[in-house]
């Protein structure tokens, strides 16, 4: 079954505020990025990507959680991120029943996430490698027989 149909089924199965919220979020993501790809991963998690993973849309009993894979790299001037703030990479938005989301700020965040996760964007140049250390030639029998400074004979 295609991911789009699986997400449709998930929204329909959640016949409460969580289904409505997930459907609304899905629509905002598609408005922000009409070329977004919908995926179904990890045994039942809706995922949106565009040349790289953008975010997930998980539903729990009391929250709809939107986890952005590279959220720590994104500017969030409207402070939409309110969960998973301590991580080095991900950030999340937890939406509870009755909460409103700043739609314009969310769409801007999606567009920025697309730019940040795009694998076609030029990557930072790799640092130059240090030259390999030169190894000393193996000691020959003649070298072993020669006395060295500071070395006592047996």
Q: What is the mean pLDDT of the chain?
A: 85
pTM comes to: 0.75
Encode pLDDT of 15-71 as tens digits: 999 999 999 999 999 999 999 999 999 889 999 999 999 999 999 999 999 999 999
Query: Where are the chain's structural domains?
Result: 3-117
Among residues 83, 90, 110, the alpha carbon closest in space to that of 25 is found at 110
Q: Rounded distance, CA 54 to CA 131, Å?
A: 38
- The upper half-sphere exposure of residue 138, i.e. CA atoms within 13 Å in the direction of its Cβ, equals 2
Encode pLDDT of 68-114 as tens digits: 999 999 999 999 999 999 989 999 999 999 999 999 999 999 999 99
Which CATH fold would you assign to the domain 3-117? 3.90.1150
As beta bridge partners, residue 56 has 47, 67
Higher pLDDT, 135 or 9: 9
DSSP-based three-state secondary structure for 28: helix
């Amino acid at each position: 079954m295609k991911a789009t149909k699986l997400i449709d089924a998930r929204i329909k199965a959640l016949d409460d505020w969580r289904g409505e919220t997930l459907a609304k979020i899905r629509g905002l993501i598609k408005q922000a990025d009409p070329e977004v790809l919908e995926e179904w991963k990890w045994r039942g998690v809706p995922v949106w990507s565009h040349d790289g993973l953008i975010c997930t849309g998980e539903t729990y009993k009391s929250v709809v959680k939107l986890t952005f894979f590279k959220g720590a790299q994104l500017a969030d001037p409207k402070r939409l991120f309110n969960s998973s703030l301590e991580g080095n990479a991900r950030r999340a938005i937890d939406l509870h029943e009755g909460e409103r989301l700043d739609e314009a700020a969310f769409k801007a965040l999606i567009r920025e996430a697309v730019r940040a996760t795009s694998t076609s964007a030029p990557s930072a140049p790799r640092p130059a490698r240090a030259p390999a250390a030169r190894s000393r030639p193996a000691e020959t029998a003649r070298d072993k027989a020669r006395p060295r400074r500071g070395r006592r004979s047996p």
